[in-house]
Structure 1
Amino acid sequence: MIFRPWLTLRTAGLVWVLPLLLLDASQATGQVRDLLARPEFSLTVELPETKNDTNNLLSQVDQQLQQAKWQDAIDTLERLSSRHGSEFISQGKDQVDLGSEYVYYDELKTYLQRRIAEFSRQTPEFLEAYRDRIDPLAKEDLDAAKATADPEVLAATINDYFLSSHTDEALLVLGDLLLERGRFNEARTAWERISPRFRTPEDPRGVLLAMAGQPMWVAVGGIDWKQHRDHVAALLNEAASSASLATIPDTDVDPAAVWARLCLTSWLEGSQQRAAVELELLQQLHPAAEGYLGGRNTNYAQFLAKLIETNPGSTAISPSSGWPTFAGAYSRTAKAMQERKVSDYEPAWSVTLDVQSLSRAPGNNGFGDVRTLEDIPLIAEDGDALLSTFPVVMGDQVIVADENRVRAFQLHSGLPSFPVAGNQVFKRNDLDYGAFLTTGRRVDFNFGPDRMRRGSPLRGMALRFLHALGPARFTLSSDQTKLVARIGTTAIGVPYVQAQFQNPADMVVFDMRKEGKIEARVPPVTELSGPWSFEGTAIVQGNRLYCGMVKSGVRDELAVGCFDWTTSQLIWRKKICTVQPYGSGLVADGEFGHRSHNLLTMVDGVLYYNTNNGVIAALNADRGRMLWLTRYPRMEMVPRSLERAHPQVQRNVNPCIVERGLVISMPLDCERLFALDAATGQLVWQTVPGGLDPTHLIGISGEDVLVSGEQLFWVHVDSGRIRAEFPSVDQAHLDRGFGRGTLVGDQVYWPTRDKVYRLETKLADDGSIVPAAEPIDLSQFGEEGGNLVYSDGQLIVAGPSRLTVYTPVVDDKPPPAASPSQE
């Protein structure tokens, strides 16, 4: 029989089980392992890059441009864009340390826009010929698009006519429309495309403090304007392209109008330092410039100076109530509101959770398990009792899920949110207590007599099959009324024998106004699509679901998909890359699946995808168009046994944080935390390789991104400098981290096994950490730490085996002045 791993996982049968029954189990298992064992894990990432015929056309364009055959060149460019525009092409790289580089890719259509714009600056005759062809249509279509006041329509039209003589004004209008909708990153990118002067130019003298192509505010923050003003002005007036953004070759738009808008946007989103630097740039280069801003004609610099002196603007990322998704928002950084001082907490209620543990490889006889997980070096959790549950809060309901059930409880009482079908009565320690969906089966491969797939003829046999690599994680997503859960196995790419006993997870949509009624069940596969699986819980917006997907095989194909959940139909699916599966590459003694929990990040209509496989990508959510793709340096990953490989993929629920024009990520296959420019994907900063080894990116507060593992770190959001850590080296007697913390107002709640520390997110003037209140002692209640969520004054702790909600003890006493080291 031919081994066909690409068969859909919904296929049922016993063809690969029979060898285990008819032969000696260890012999049969050994034969499979010998066939499939891989000596090393490949870091190679394959992208859908330009092919030979595409490269031939690119060469043809070069020749036609050199020979001044403008019309022939335009025809070839149109052929390239229409036939090959979605292929990837490298447009640069940064070598940051020995053997490590970040490589930047664009779709070919975007690359051609930038390249032709650069050529047009040097050869105005070509631009004139190009505009003679497109301007008549461009003006009519751009005017119609502006009249709709729909940024999606206008952005698509701009993309079609990017080099027309009318596009710069359209970009100004597009930015204004996006700003009105609070889509700050997109607005900023639209304005920066008007001219290359709004990004850092090449500077041979080294006066500017940023690499070419980075945001200009980074380059001029802290320079001596009195000494270097004329030099900076001359660099910007040259208008030579140095950014990976495609920019207009010439423009009549007043640069002061753009700088004023950039400053206003920074202030509105709460980036005070950025706004101050951009205001100073405006004051230095265009002090007398006037225009329409703030509802009236005004001097830009004077108006913004008064505005910035008032209360700072702030991004609406902090839910006043509820916690709708992992990390509290689809930007993956949010703060819960805390309206009163809390001296302490006490448990209000708790329920039992399904205990999750790491998979163990079969014992020597192929059926038993003789190994333990005690010596597996996981960070901030235990292999025998994982911290797999990440609750969400919708209104006054706390909701949790696992592979088999979804449960909802009233936040303040712990009672089930909905009546139980059939008037069944469950106790709080029952796993089905509060459940409004129960599949009634286990699908985690720990097959015993009670854990077989229903209807299987092997249900009564105590078999132990090969397992999946990596911890299980259970996340949820919601909007105001709809809840989305990934129900089914979290294992992906399992061998065919295991596929007989489990189904790939579906995306299930519930209406929480109707007691959790199932509105839709969206499968990842159809009869024709092949073995696709969902990687994590989808983002829900309106009638759309956005999710990472993987097509299993000898090489996994990673993609981002968009579904209409009302019809379960795929709207678009964009291939990102092809990689070696972790399960078949990291485990040296056989073929294994792996558990993937990749979550997308969504900000301002853009999806950001940390593949955890060498690539970060940004896509337009409306149509799935690739905006940029960055290949980051992967660390060496050594193949080993199943147990020893688990720690290498522990950080498997780590979506990008996107805020203030930065995409901050720490993939599981990278030993550094880094920030990319949200507009271009270019590197802004990175930490020293190996300098951090966290599990959780908690979020951004003030000047820092909070990162945790066994310790809690403050990393400066604009530079990547590690500014503080807790506990420090001289506080080694304090507990180590145990679970994911959360931001509560201006505090960070950080869990250890026995306590929850409450610390100010703002460091003291001397850089020291400031305690906000005494730690919450969980051990006195017989409880332990876990993943934290805070909502409506209640602290929710999802531990390894219990979900506990703590209610506040109100006290108006001021916080203590003692440091944690004085306990």
Structure 2
Amino acid sequence: MIDLTVRTIRTAGLVGFLALSLLGARQSFGQVGDLEVRAEFSLTVELPEIRNDTKNLLSQIDQHLQQKNWQDAIDTLGRLIGSHGDELIARGSDQVDLGSQYTYYVDLKSYLQRRIAEYSRQTPEFLEVYRQRIDPLAQTVLDEAKASRDPAQLATAIDDYFLSSYTDDALLYLGDLLLEQARFNEARTAWERISPRFRTPNDPSGVLLAMPGQPMWVAVDGIDWKKHRNYIRQCLEDNASSSPLATIPNSNIDPAAVWARLCLASWLEGAEDRAQSELELLKQLYPDGHGYLGGRETNFAQFLSRLVDTSHGTLPGRHEKDWPTFAGAYSRNGHGKLTRPAGTYQPNWSVAIDRQVLSRPAGSGVTNGQAAEPEATPLISETEKELNSTFPIVHDGVVVVADEQRVRAFELESGLAAFPTSGRAFDKTDLEYGAFYSPGRRVDVDFESRRRGNLLSAMTIKFLHALGVPRFTQSSDGDMLVARLGITAIGVPMFQAQFQDPADMVIFDMSKQGKLIARIPPVTELSLPWSFEGTAIIDGNRLYCGMTKSGVRDESAVACFDWTTSQMLWRKSLSITQPYGSGLVQEADYGHRSYNLLTLKDGVLYYNTNHGVIAALDAERGDTLWLTRYPRLPLVPTPRLELAHGLVQRNINPCVVTQGLVISMPLDCDRVFALDAATGQLVWQTVPSGIEPMHILGATDEDVLVSGKQLFWIQLHSGKIRAEFPQVARDPRDSGFGRGTIVGDQVYWPTHDTVYRLGSRLDENAQVVTAGEPVDLAQYGEEGGNVLVSDEFMIIASPSRMTVYSPTSSDVLPKREADDPSN
């Protein structure tokens, strides 16, 4: 049994306050040094930090402020933001254990907003001069933006005139607009920018339960209000600089109105603990606060008490009948829904899928002319010859799977091909069965003639050696489906690259029997050698995707395309690092396979680069909202390709965003950790090497469910590991095998021979609850794999085939009180 008490670390250090000087960041982006010895993998991460000319302008602003030449300071500030606003600057760090450090960056514009806001609090006469200059135009622009009811337009106006006299009211209104659209994280951030008092203040007496700058509800959750009410009130009133957000210097907005909105947003999101904590703060500090809420003039505390205490909020789209993308939602926290209880399951239909194996260079199993026993590759939840590479999605009663060459669709109930196909593919063991797009089938000459025609491209797919486990995903929005098709190896040696093109994003219209609508390549003649890293998010007419520019160093970026025109709208470069393929194998040069997926939540893109950096970007404009460098795990190069695959096995691990947290487990990090969604600051982490995670299945309002060889329940807001299943090491076939899924109040967790059905919530004693009879796959000659549930069906994509199971009865185990999500 593993000791659960030592595997979580809460942040223990303050994020250092920003120095009054605007200097101190170093220039590094694009400066590529000589590679070290091939066997030494470099953990260096280079960022687009501020340049020397930027530092000179910052120094000029400092001088103008010190000399009270405020007009000159304002002019220089405008020039700096206009020409250098997207450069990054470090704003603090957390030293958490044995030298492990998280470092936080924002773009220069956000940094300057926060810096000038702090200066304005200390020097009100500067703020008066500044507002005299910008207020007349700011009022007009902000009023027009509010009248448009377009959050993007209003957010841009707020950024342009952040220190105006009217911005706090605009932020309140922006949060209301975002709340109407169920964009909870963005709404909370807008309201918290109204004043620093909505984040945890400095606490010299050590009363509060969170560090300065963290969300206030955590700091007072479980506090003794009777004893500490007056102290907390005074701390909040005195709070001027602990918020990591850029906040208004002297807002006149009623704090009770903001706390009421924060509580309402928590309730609507289904974050009941947070709602209760914020409601108690409202009752204790502003019992008489009143205003317009819920369509009428009301006492905030009384109205919200009736709401929170008598009913449960709902999280829109949390339980979906369809499964439109990896992890069920672009927040990567989708939950399946059972239309009727299932006593157990039996196979309904099955089709073959393309079996994947790990790359082995030619001759790797031969020594002196004799066949040698191949060395085993240590993998979690799969083996080198049984890879769980396929992740189906479900769209309107149709199951869709893809590989590097084809996309296939089947009717969920019958297993028949969903769309007409030509040729001989009527055998369900044929990989062409159900294919509505594959080489030689449904090819549009206009699309192909732009850049194809290399006959060796298709031939080299199976023979191209690259580091990493193959993964295949798709995404859908409405009737549009996107898949990444083609060779997924990145940064392959030049002699191989000339025989293959990087994978494209291919868009299909599912309402027109999978008609090919668009094909977007990652490169043009002017942009070589960019590659897509994983399947894009499709949202309306936009595609969002991670990209890599290969070279001596790999450049990681996020890009946005208009798929209707194939035009790239923006691309934001984030970091430069050493590619895995050229650093982790000593014997030769290899490319690597990357399947990084973006997360989209409330208008913000979150990207786990798996190269030392996690970033949040505005989805509309591509602006960097924050970037966090996490402690990277030293990766020891191995002498052979087949032994290195395990180092990058966890290569499909997007961030999970829920309740204001960004949960992540990068492949180059030996811990699971949570960041503040608004700021990128560390909230908690598990103890380094405490668990071996492979998948984040999702989160309830209490726990994050993480799986590998075992299934773990990690407390959502503290990082404490509360339970594991199974507790005792068993036969390897009883270890996790594939990706499970959360289904209502249950979690389906697969092993090689069984799918366990457990309660997604623990009981009152923090014990794992059995929610249904385990599904014995071995009795049907089937095996585990990647599981999802849609409608009443359970779908398992094993290494060699996809099987759809139907429920055999509605007799389920008696429901225990601890299983009830209302408890």
Q: Provide the TM-score with structure 2 as the length reference.
A: 0.91
Q: Does 1:519 align with 2:493?
A: no
CA contact (8 A) 2:457 2:501 kept: no
2:390 alignment partner AA = T
**Match for 1:599: what amino acid?**
L
Is the CA contact (8 Å cut-off) linking 1:48 and 1:577 kept in structure 2? yes
Measured after TM superposition, the shift of residue 315 of structure 1 is 0.8
Describe the SS at the equivalent of 2:279.
helix
Greater shift, 373-382 or 57-66, is seen at: 373-382
Would the aligned equivalents of 2:456 and 2:500 in 1 still touch at CA under 8 Å? no
Partner residue in 2 for 1:649: 648
Distance 1:457 1:184, change over 3 A: closer
Sort the Cα spacing of 1:126 and 1:457 in 2 relative to 1 into closer, same or farther, 3 A: closer
| 1:220–1:529 Cα change, 3 Å | same
1:500 counterpart = 2:501: no
SS in 1 for 2:523: coil
- 8 Å CA contact 1:200–1:215 kept in 2: the answer is yes
Q: Pick closer, same or farther for the CA change 1:160–1:690 going to 2, 3 Å.
A: same
* Distance in 2 of aligned mates of 1:475 and 1:562: 19
The aligned residue for residue 590 of structure 1 is: 588
Per the alignment, do residues 488 and 370 of structure 1 end up closer, same or farther by CA in structure 2, a change over 3 Å counting? farther
Moved more, 462-471 or 480-489: 462-471
> Residue 529 of structure 2 corresponds to which residue in structure 1?
531
Q: Quick check: 2:335–2:741 contact (8 Å CA) kept in 1?
A: yes
Determine the structure 1 residue equivalent to 2:11: none
- Which residue matches 2:32? none
Matched residue, 2:543: 545
Query: 2:687 maps to which residue?
Result: 688
Equivalent residue runs for 1:306-345 within 5 Å: 306-345=306-345
SS at match of 1:342: coil
Q: Deviations over 1:763-809 (max 9, x none)?
A: 11111111011100000000000000110100000000010000001
What does the per-residue CA deviation read over 1:69-121, in whole Å, with 9 as the maximum and x for residues that have no partner? 10111111111101110100000001011110100000001100000000100
Secondary structure, in 3 states, of the residue corresponding to 1:546?
A: strand
Q: How is 1:114-153 mapped onto 2 (pairs within 5 angstroms)?
A: 114-153=114-153
Q: 1:137 to 1:755 in 2, by over 3 A?
A: same
Q: Which amino acid aligns with 1:748?
A: V
Deviation at 1:590, TM superposition (A): 1.5
Q: Deviation at 1:741?
A: 0.1
Q: Which residue is equivalent to 1:405?
A: 406
What count of residue pairs does the alignment treat as equivalent?
771
The 2-side partners of 1:773 and 1:311 are apart by 28
1:521-540 CA-to-partner distances (Å, cap 9, x unmatched) read: 00000000120000000000
Going from structure 1 to structure 2, the CA distance change for 1:750 and 1:374 (only over 3 Å counts) comes to farther
- Superposed, 1:561-572 pairs within 5 Å as 561-572=559-570
CA distance in 1, matches of 2:373, 2:238: 66
Alignment of 1:113-262 (within 5 A): 113-262=113-262
Per-residue displacement from partner, 1:652-682 (whole Å, max 9, x unpaired)? 0000000100000000000010000000000
Residue 738 of structure 1 corresponds to 737
- Deviation of the 1:227 alpha carbon: 1.1
The aligned counterpart of 1:49 is 49
Secondary structure at the residue paired with 1:343? coil
Are the counterparts in 2 of residues 95 and 102 from structure 1 also a CA contact under 8 Å? yes
Residue in structure 1 matching 2:479, options 469, 481, 490? 481
Report what 1:4 is aligned to: none
Aligned-partner Cα distance in 2 for 1:120–1:425: 71
2:558 corresponds in structure 1 to: 560
Deviations 1:217-239 (A, max 9, x none): 01111111111111110111113
Between the aligned partners of 2:223 and 2:121, the Cα distance in structure 1 is 29
- Flag the 1:590–1:304 CA change in 2: closer, same or farther, 3 A: same
The CA deviation string for residues 28-85 of structure 1, in whole angstroms up to 9 with x for no partner, is xxxxxxx997121111100000011111111111111111110111111111101110
Partner Cα separation in structure 2 for residue 811 and residue 394 of structure 1: 25
Q: CA deviation at 1:373?
A: 5.6
SS at match of 1:670: coil
Distance 2:56 2:583 in 1: 36
Counterpart-to-counterpart distance in 2, 1:739 and 1:718: 26
Aligned equivalents of 2:739 and 2:404: distance in 1?
Answer: 20
Q: Pairwise CA RMSD of aligned residues?
A: 2.2
Task: Quote the residue 1:417 is aligned against.
Answer: 418
Quote the residue 2:508 is aligned against: 510
Give 1:316 deviation, angstroms: 1.5
Percent sequence identity over aligned pairs: 64
Helix, strand or coil at the partner of 1:563: strand
* Alpha-carbon distance between aligned partners in 1 of 2:225 and 2:80, rounded to the nearest angstrom: 45
| Structure 2 partner of 1:599 | 597
- Kept after mapping to 1: 8 A contact 2:759/2:770: yes
Q: 1:472 and 1:651 mapped to 2: Cα distance?
A: 11
Map residues 76-95 of structure 1 onto 2, 5 A cutoff.
76-95=76-95
Structure 2 partner of 1:284: 284
Letter in 1 for 2:395: M
1:661 aligns with 2:660: yes
Q: Is the 8 A contact 1:290 1:300 kept in 2?
A: yes
- 1:362–1:464 Cα contact (<8 Å) kept: no
- Whether the 8 Å CA contact 1:742–1:749 is kept in 2: the answer is yes
Q: Which ranges in structure 2 are unaligned for 5 or more consecutive residues? A: 1-34, 442-452, 819-823
CA gap 1:399/1:75 in 2 versus in 1, 3 angstroms: same
Q: Deviations over 1:563-597 (max 9, x none)?
A: 01011110000011111000001111221100000
| TM, length-normalised to structure 1 | 0.91
Aligned to 1:27: none
Separation in structure 1 between the aligned mates of residue 274 and residue 294 of structure 2, nearest angstrom: 19
Deviation at 1:466, TM superposition (A): 6.5
Alignment-derived partner of residue 267 in structure 1: 267
Shift of 1:340: 2.2
State the Cα distance separating 1:372 from its structure 2 match.
5.9
Task: Work out the CA distance in 1 between the residues paired with 2:461 and 2:671.
Answer: 41
Q: Which amino acid in 2 is paired with 1:392? A: I
Q: Deviations over 1:167-207 (max 9, x none)?
A: 00000000000000100000000000000000011111111
Q: 1:373 to 1:667 in 2, by over 3 A?
A: farther
3-state SS in 1 of match to 2:344: strand
Q: How far 1:692 sits from its partner (Å)?
A: 1.4
Question: Which SS does the other structure have where 1:695 is aligned?
Answer: strand
Distance 1:813 1:533, change over 3 A: closer
Whether the 8 Å CA contact 1:367–1:463 is kept in 2: the answer is no
Whole-angstrom CA distance in 1 between matches of 2:184 and 2:812: 39
Does structure 1 retain, via aligned residues, the 8 Å contact 2:425–2:432?
Answer: no
> Secondary structure of 2:535's partner?
coil
Q: Does the 8 A contact of 2:486 with 2:503 survive in 1? A: yes
Structure 2 counterpart of 1:778: 777
Match of 2:385 in 1: 384
* Structure 1 Cα separation of the partners of residues 772 and 369 of structure 2: 49
Q: State the match for 2:622 in structure 1.
A: 624
Q: d(CA) in 1 for partners of 2:806 and 2:354?
A: 23
Choose from 601, 607, 610 the match for 1:609. 607
Deviation digits for residues 346-386 of structure 1, max 9, x if unmatched? Answer: 10000001110111133278999966666211001011121
1:636 corresponds in structure 2 to 634
CA 1:679 to 1:748, structure 2 compared with 1: closer, same or farther past 3 Å? Answer: same
Q: Cα 1:89–1:370, aligned 2, differ >3 Å: closer, same or farther?
A: farther
Query: Retained in 2: the 8 A contact 1:551–1:558?
Result: yes
How far off is 1:502 after superposition?
1.6
| 8 Å CA contact retained: 1:42, 1:580 | yes
| 2:19 corresponds to | none
Following TM superposition, by how much is the alpha carbon of 1:317 offset from its aligned partner in structure 2, in angstroms?
3.3
